[in-house]
Amino acid sequence: MKIVKVDLLATFSPRGYNKIPINGARGLLRLLCFEPGQDVPLHKHPRGDEYFYVVNGRGKIIMEEKEAEAESGCIVKVPAGVPHGWKNGPKRLMLLSVIIPPRSYGLADEATKMEFI
């Protein structure tokens, strides 16, 4: 069993935002750490829905041509193939990013079934 405090994983860099893999998730589960004013330019993931959980701070999510504020406690879904990016404000921002290929939702439903012992 491995328990990790997100705050202890966080590392920030003045050169750009950091992408930190969590518990060996190899890119599917990452902590994104932004210094004030840093951003992620518009991009898309053709084969994966991306979910963001705002751990700390506040930032603007840009999807296609719309912007919205997201703050601590918010969850944002970006469907596969949709251009998106982030703009951070005057304080540090930490996001938890989870990428899920849409074709795996059935497999995920199967994996979440519980067997009581």
- pLDDT per residue as tens digits for the range 22-41: 877 766 899 999 999 999 99
Domain-embedded: residue 7 = no
Domain-embedded: residue 88 = yes
The confidence score (pLDDT) of residue 6 equals: 86
Domain-embedded: residue 60 = yes
Answer whether residue 55 shows pLDDT above 90: yes
Over residues 4-28, mean pLDDT: 85
Over residues 82-97, mean pLDDT: 96
User: Which CATH number covers residue 21?
Assistant: 2.60.120.10
**Higher-scoring residue by pLDDT: 53, 65:** 53
The number of domains in the chain is: 1
Domain-embedded: residue 96 = yes
The residue range of the domain holding 31 is 14-110
Over residues 56-80, mean pLDDT: 96
Chain centroid to CA 78:
10
